[in-house]
Amino acid sequence: MPSIEDELFPSTPGKFKIDRSNRQLHRCFASTSTMFLWALFLIALTASYLSIQSFVDSGSRYLTASWGGIQWEKQVRTSAQIHRSGGISVLVTGATGFVGSHVSLALRKRGDGVVGLDNFNNYYDPSLKRARRSLLSSRGIFVVEGDLNDAKLLAKLFDVVAFTHVMHLAAQAGVRYALENPQSYVHSNIAGLVNLLETCKSANPQPAIVWASSSSVYGLNEKVPFSESDRTDQPASLYAATKKAGEEITHTYNHIYGLAITGLRFFTVYGPWGRPDMAYFSFTRNILQGKPITIYRGKNRVDLARDFTYIDDIVKGCLGSLDSSGKSTGSGGKKRGSAPYRIFNLGNTSPVTVPILVDILEKHLKVKAKRNFVEMPGNGDVPFTHANISSARKEFGYKPTTDLETGLRKFVRWYLSYYGYNTKAKLVH
């Protein structure tokens, strides 16, 4: 009696000798085999598709990436080259921002290496940031378009260049905008800061860090002038709270990892290439367009006052902080000794009321403003600011030299030129 194996696999190639009694078994097996083969085919087809799709997606990401590659690395290295004896190589975050662009130009002018980083967000018109980037590019400064929260990008930058310093100016600015988009402040001012510090702590060598805190951290403090030792635990806005959190976070990284860190509390910076959301900027725009301007007043109709500080004075403070920053002491994420941790006020020490600022703008614009006085809403603004700058003066000779009358004259000249009221715009010094 033939075996089942003989019945299913006969000696004559190409022919099956199937007994009628086993026909049902064969049909079942044949059907199962067919299904199995089809399943294998579909699995192979799916795997091939996924493999191809992955390759296409990877290629697409590579082609559309705004950083990476041999040419990109060459641009970064070239921009970071130092052109003076004893110079420094600085990564400037927020490089196409108001303060960032001015600091970058000043560093390049004296022969330091500068590489910029900016995400070109749309908090205000990105075209102004693009114009600043064009200006930086004309001076040989390369700006990388990317986000602070991109850990791979930051790691790559430090892999390409051994930066001696980081000038961290990238942040979500503005007090009132926090009411609309609070998450953006946490994303940039806290998460972005931590990501940058994580990169710096692991760098070898570790860079010294100078970063922008804010006079807003003084919050509801009523003691004037504001000193670095004053209370800063009563912030009046989310923006101020994130900056205060930044001071605590940077102190932690200094203590644990040996990073040399300097925090700068800026006081109401103004000047050419400024931020359109600032009062002096929007006042100028509305006055020229014949629109009313809103001027806030505090309790009992008291005029608000600000310690307006001209951009060139802020730049001098930033460079002085970089030059006196000291050295980080860690290596590979491990602390080798104590490193400097400092906080300084950078202001003008001469508060001016907002109505007087408007008077000066009217004088330089030769147009009367339509003033609309409104009681200050509870949106995070404070009634006054006034900087005590004795610490910065003692540490690195900080001394502001530009009064509001002079600074606003320079700003108005730039504004009229940039927005087509006069000749082609150029940076005013």
Instruction: Round to whole Å and give the CA distance between 170 and 309.
Output: 19
Out of 124, 218, 239, 270, pick the active-site residue: 239
Instruction: Round to whole Å and give the CA distance between 135 and 139.
Output: 7
Candidates 105, 237, 104, 248; CA nearest to 173 is 237
Question: Is 49 annotated in the active site?
Answer: no
Provide the annotated active-site residues.
239
